[in-house]
Every structure is written in C-alpha cells, then in structure tokens.
Amino acid sequence: MPPPSISPITDADVAAVIALWQRCGLTRPWNDPSADIAFARRGPNSAILAGRADDTIVATAMVGHDGHRGWVYYVAVDPDAQRKGAGRAIMAAAEDWLRQQGIAKVMLMVRPDNTQVQAFYETLGYDEQERVIYSKWLDGREMTP
C-alpha cells in the first residue's frame, strides 16, 4: 500500500472520522467526538489530519499546541490498514504540522495497558516521560478512568 495522502479534514469527512475512531476504540462516553472535532477545527492552534488511501480515510490525528508544546490525540489507523505505514505517515504529518507552527516538542498520552501502541511510538523515537497527571471534572461529576 502506498503512503496515504494527508490533509486536514473537511465537513464531509466528519462522519467517517468518527466511525474510524469508534472502530479503533478511541471514543469514550464522556467525550463527544463531534464536539471534539468542532473544537479542534475552530481555531488556528489545532487541526485534524486525515490520511486517505483510494479516497477512504484510513488514518487520523488530532494535533494542537498551547504555544510551548504540541499534543497529538485521536491517532487512529483503520485495522485493515495497520502495519502498512499509515500510522507512521499520520504521525510524521502531525509532527510536521507542529514544526510549521514553531513548536519544538510533541506530547501524547497512551493508556498504560495499551502496550502495542506504546511499542509503536517507541519505534518512532518517542520516549516515556514519567509524570503524574491530575484531573478534575469542573461540573462535579465522579472521576472517569
């Protein structure tokens, strides 16, 4: 499979992107993917990139920054396209997007039990950094996993 062509998503892509995220198990009940997409597309500090093969979205990455460090979320590769370079291509595009914004460091979070994805990022040169992450729902609800 040739590398996917990568570009920001369009309005017409939203349903396919959400379907891919669901197929890859990235969505959570407490996060509305439609709202996440709308928010990411609203300003200049973030974007959602899609990798296409034969006009089908096979990979995505939501990328953004706070002015100091970049973050990558919703990295998804269609299970039928995995291990064919789409993941490497979408991550390279996310890194390039951040470089073009003048951002020097990229961060991402992986759930501790997702060892296959951890191994993937290690092959791309990412290192684990020990951090303690605190969170709080501002509307008072119980903490989610």
pLDDT for the residue numbered 88: 96
Rounded CA separation 104/57 (Å): 28
What CATH number matches the domain at 5-108, 3.40.630.30, 3.20.20.370, 3.50.50.60, 3.30.559.10? 3.40.630.30
DSSP H helical ranges for 10-138 = 14-23, 33-42, 86-100, 115-123
Q: What are 53-80's pLDDT values in tens digits? A: 989 999 999 999 999 999 999 999 999 9
Lowest mean pLDDT segment, chosen from 47-51, 87-91, 135-139: 135-139
Rounded CA separation 48/139 (Å): 27
Q: In the predicted model, what is the mean pLDDT of the chain?
A: 94
Q: What are 103-139's pLDDT values in tens digits? A: 999 999 998 888 899 999 999 999 999 888 889 989 9
Give, in order, the Cα–Cα distances in Å from 29 to each of 22, 32, 65, 114: 11, 7, 25, 19
